[in-house]
Amino acid sequence: MNNDVIITCAVTGAGDTTSKSKYVPVTPEQVANAAIEAANAGAAVAHIHVRDPKTGDGSRDTALFKETVDRVRDSGCEVIINLTAGMGGDWVPDVENPSMPGPGTDMIGPEERLAHVIECLPDICSLDCGTMNFGNGNNTYINTAPYLRTMASIAQELGVKPELEVFDLGQIRLARALIDEGLIDLPPMFQICLGIPWGAGADTETMTAMKQALPDGALWAGFGIGRTQMPMVAQAVLLGGNVRVGLEDNIYLDRGVLASNGMLVERAVEIIQKLGAKVLSPKQAREKIGLKA
């Protein structure tokens, strides 16, 4: 069991949730305020995507990231900033000519995927460690091994800690290869992502198997999406890990009750404390992760 728990709050994501909940933040001001709200509720880390303020769709606009990060920093909030680097890997084959990209494709190179990280220099950026079918449509999310090596090398040069997001056991194998090649500074930090179609399922056996496949000394957290979010909070703590909650992964507090990010963090704090563990502050989390103050 982990007695000193870091809570990450993934405050908005890029999915089609804005039409389902009024609490999902869209503008840079709203996303920054959501990160601050989560920190005030007990989150040590804010995992941040940005959205197009006009459409609500997920965006990789560097200016939107810069405004959001500046707002958080200028507020005096000490929350650890974790920027997604997961945008720009969507491939949807054209119906008539599957060898060509169709509507919905947003495929760019590894350097461009990190443009906002280079601009903002966050504490952490995510690194999605593999390619997978994403949902029931024709969308494939592509992260090739050469792309990941390039992105890991850039993050290492910047001094930004990669959060190795893994969606199945094969992705852990690839992440371990990056570590063995010296592209990831020790200790590595993993995020076990469960329940996303069609990655690994959100259940006890799967989280246990993935945790056991991590390298010795790795820091790790785990989460489940939707109704599995809070059960996976408890499961991660019991298995020795940290946790993630937030509106990127789940928009409900209880059945039919929409949540804010702060509400989800408060629920996670309650679960963690009832298990007898302590929730770490941003300062304490920095020390545990090994980040610069």
Structure tokens at 17: 């949730």
pLDDT tens by residue, 243-283: 999 999 999 999 999 999 999 999 999 999 999 999 999 99
Owner of token pair 């929730």: 279
Output the average pLDDT for the chain.
97
207: Cα separation from own chain's centroid: 16
Is the predicted pLDDT of residue 135 greater than 90, yes or no?
no
Residue 106 pLDDT: 95
pLDDT tens by residue, 77-90: 999 999 999 999 99
Nearest Cα residue to 221 out of 6, 44, 10: 6
DSSP H or E segment with residue 31: helix 28-41
CB 7 within 8 A of CB 42: yes
CA distance 104 to 265: 32
Measured at the CA of 226, the angle between CA 122 and CA 23, to 5 degrees, comes to: 65
Q: With a threshold of 0.85, does the pTM exceed it?
A: yes
Is the predicted pLDDT of residue 152 greater than 80, yes or no?
yes
Structure tokens at 61: 């606009």
CA distance 277 to 138: 42
Q: What is the DSSP string of 233-261?
A: HHHHHHTT-EEEESTTT--EEETTEE--H
pLDDT tens by residue, 51-107: 999 999 999 999 999 999 999 999 999 999 999 999 999 999 999 999 999 999 999
Work out the average pLDDT over 159-163: 98
272: Cα separation from own chain's centroid: 20
CATH of the domain at 53: 3.20.20.70
Is the predicted pLDDT of residue 293 greater than 80, yes or no?
no
Is the predicted pLDDT of residue 21 greater than 80, yes or no?
yes
Structural domain span for residue 91: 4-289
Owner of token pair 């990941």: 148
DSSP H or E segment with residue 77: none
Residue 211 pLDDT: 98
Domain count across the chain: 1
